[in-house]
Structure formats: C-alpha cells, structure tokens
Amino acid sequence: MTESAPVSKSEKPKVAFYWCASCGGCEEAVVDLAEKILDVVAAVDIVFWPVALDFKRKDVEAMPDGAILASFMNGAIRTTEQEEMAHLLRQKSKVLVAFGSCAQLGGIPGLANLSSRESIFQTVYHESPSTVNTEGTVPKRFYRENGFCVTLPGFFDTVQALDQVVDVDYYLPGCAPTPKLIQQAIETLLSGALPPKGTVLAPDRALCEECPRKDSRPEKLTLTAFKRPHEVLIDEQKCLLAQGVVCMGPATRGGCEALCPQGNMPCTGCFGPTSRVRDFGAKVLSSLASIMDSNDEKEIERITSTIPDPVGTFYRYSLPSSLLRRKKLVASPVTKA
C-alpha cells in the first residue's frame, strides 16, 4: 500500500465539488461552513475540488463509475469543457447535486442568453471601452505553432442549467446556498435516507412566509410605481413591496430565512420557484403586474415602464431554465468546420 496514492483508500464516502460558469461565490459558501467544515471533512473524503485541492481531471477519470457518493456542481454550462465535466462527474457519482442558482436555473451567467455568441465576442474582444486589441485577436479553439496544437474549450451560443445537459438528482438553491442548507444537504445525503429524485433541498414555501416584515404587508397591496432600492429611503420594518420596492418574495422559494429583506434589500429571486411553478419569471411578472393600481391602459403602461429591464428583473437567475430559454436568435448561419 503506497502512502502517496492520489486517492485515499479509506472507506469514507467520497465527495466532489466542481465549478462551471459561476463567480466563485458557491465555493465561498462551502468555506462559509466555517468550523463545521471539519465535521464534513471528518465524515467524507473530498476527492476532487479544483478550487482548494490538487486533484486533476485524470484522477476522476481513473475512478470506477459511481465511486463518488455525491458531486456538487455549481455554475451554469457555458463551454464544452464544462459539459464534458458534467458528463464525467455524472458517470462517476451516485448522486449529482446542482449547487446554487447557476447550476439549478442558469443563474446570472444565463442572462447572456439575451445576446448571441457573436455579439458577446464582438463586445468583449473588440468594442468594450477597456479593450485594446489593435491586432483583432480572438480566441480560437485550435492554434498550431511549431508543431504543437493548443486548444480551448468551445463556447456555446446558449447558456444552460446543469439539468439541461445531464441528469440531476437534487438541487441546492441560492446565490449562494446558505451554510445551513449546505450542511443539511450533506447530512441528508450521509444519512442514506434520500429524498425523492428531483427534490429541491429547501422548504417548498414562498419567502414571504419566513420574512420578518410579513405582518406589515397590507391585505390589499397596490402600487402606482415600482421602485429600485436606490430610489427610495427604505423603512427597515415595513414590507418592501408595500414601499413600492420590487421584491420577489411572494414568488420565490424560501429557505434563506429572508437574508436580503433582513439586510434592507428586496428579494431578487435567487432561490427560484416553488415546486408548482414551471417558469419563475412569468410567475413573478404575474404577481407584480396584478398589483398595479390602475385599470387604464395608458396608466398601466406608465407603471410598467418603471421596471426598466423586465427580463433582467424577472429572470435574473433563471433565464436558461425558462420556457423560452433564450432570446430568439436572428437567423445567422451556424458555421460548421
């Protein structure tokens, strides 16, 4: 038995973490377990975690199928490399958990589905004010020099949620998931008493239910304008919607214990929908639009216009998993090699 074997020989269940198109906040959330991460490490072997540990893709490839108890993947699927890793970890894991809003719903990176790949590359490599690219260099998938070939992952036109690429067992919602939910999820997985496949590992109730401002919400709520947080001096006790601030609590799944409303900021919907809703943004739209205080078309139009960016507001975390998934591509020919 060699001491330097890359994969531990102990019988502890194996766990992997991986990130795709994400900001790194979900990795932070694992670290935010603080001293409780020691309990996790005591109970499991972390066999793959590129952010923190030096294991390589080939180490994962060397494992037998299903060798990992659970893989936690955060981030949306933006590149071919991420898609490959999703397939690899799916194959090697008994349980695959979509970790955080981006993996569950597409997340903030998913708003790129309002643009095409061409326009993204145009902005990033040519047009943005901070770009200096006089030679017009753009990334290529393959580049040959001196007999060597360098490769880069392919860049999809459309950002996808994890379950649009591979089969997902559970979802851990949030941007990022709270330490409490992460800990509960790990405990549940280790207990062996697994919830039904497809379960979102958070309570199935609207956020308003757990909001400390709940009691100040008027019975009949009507608004003559939607306000963004910088446009109003927010009262720290009163229901945010009642103050005219766009708060998505009524349509968003609870479980975060109203962290944002407690910090005097409205809910932006990162926990996604409850189990009975298919398209989160449409449901937010429905609940906010119906409280507009007018029956007159012109006035309704005016109130509507106080939300300057409806798609970005309602689908902030969920555009790729919405019914329409992306802005309609104008017929541009797909270049094939």
Partner 1 sequence: MPEEKNKSQRGPQNGFEPKIVAFFCNWCTYLAADLAGTSRMKYAPNMRVIRLMCSGRVDPQFVLEAFAKGADGVLIGGCHPGDCHYQEGNYKTLRRFEMLKRVVKEMGIEEDRLRLEWISASEAERLKVAVNDMVEKVRALGPLELGTTAEHFPEEVMVS
| Positions in the binding site for partner 1 (CB under 8 A) | 80, 114, 117, 138, 140-141, 154-158, 160, 164, 277-279, 281-283, 285-286, 288-290, 292, 294-295, 297, 300-301, 304, 307, 310-311, 314, 322-330, 334-337
CB of 303 to partner 1, least distance (A): 8
Query: Minimum distance from CB of 80 to partner 1 (Å)?
Result: 6
CB of 330 to partner 1, least distance (A): 7
Cα 100 from chain centroid (whole Å): 5
Report CA 160 to chain centroid distance, whole Å: 10
CB 177 within 8 A of CB 100: yes
Alpha helices (H) along 123-207: 179-191
The answer for residues whose C-beta is within 8 angstroms of residue 216's C-beta and 6 or more apart is: 237, 238, 239, 242
**What number of helices (H) and strands (E) belong to the chain?**
11, 9
Contact 273, 251 (CB under 8 A): yes
Q: How far is the CB of 156 from partner 1 (least distance, A)?
A: 6
Q: Nearer to partner 1 by C-beta: 145 or 215?
A: 145
Smallest distance, Å, CB 252 to partner 1?
Answer: 16
Q: Rank residues 149 and 334 by Cβ distance to partner 1 and give the closer one.
A: 334
Pick 38 or 329: Cβ nearer partner 1 = 329
Whether the bond into 176 is cis, omega within 30 of 0: yes
* DSSP string for residues in 56-76: -HHHHHTSPTT-EEEEEEESB
**Which residue number, 69 or 303, has a Cβ lying nearer to partner 1?**
303
Please state, in angstroms and rounded to a whole number, the distance separating the CA atoms of residues 80 and 218. Answer: 49
Q: Is 48 or 156 the residue whose CB approaches partner 1 more closely?
A: 156
> 95 vs 311, which CB is nearer to partner 1?
311
CB of 278 to partner 1, least distance (A): 6
The residues near 44 (Cβ < 8 Å, ≥ 6 apart) are 12, 13, 14, 15, 69, 186, 190
Q: Which is nearer to partner 1, 172 or 319 (CB)?
A: 319
* C-beta closer to partner 1: residue 80 or 188: 80
Report residue 165 as tokens. Answer: 């690429």
Query: Which residues are within 8 A (CB) of 37 and not within 5 positions of it... i.e. 6 or more apart?
Result: 30, 31
Report, in Å, the least distance between residue 117 CB and partner 1: 6
In the complex with partner 1, the residue whose CB is nearer, 258 or 292, is 292
Structure tokens at 21: 């198109």
Torsions phi, psi of 244, nearest 5?
A: 90, 0
What's the closest the beta carbon of residue 137 comes to partner 1, in angstroms?
12
Detail the DSSP E strand segments found in the chain: 14-19, 45-48, 68-74, 77-79, 93-99, 142-145, 148-151, 155-160, 170-172
Residue 253 Cβ vs partner 1, minimum distance, rounded to whole Å: 16
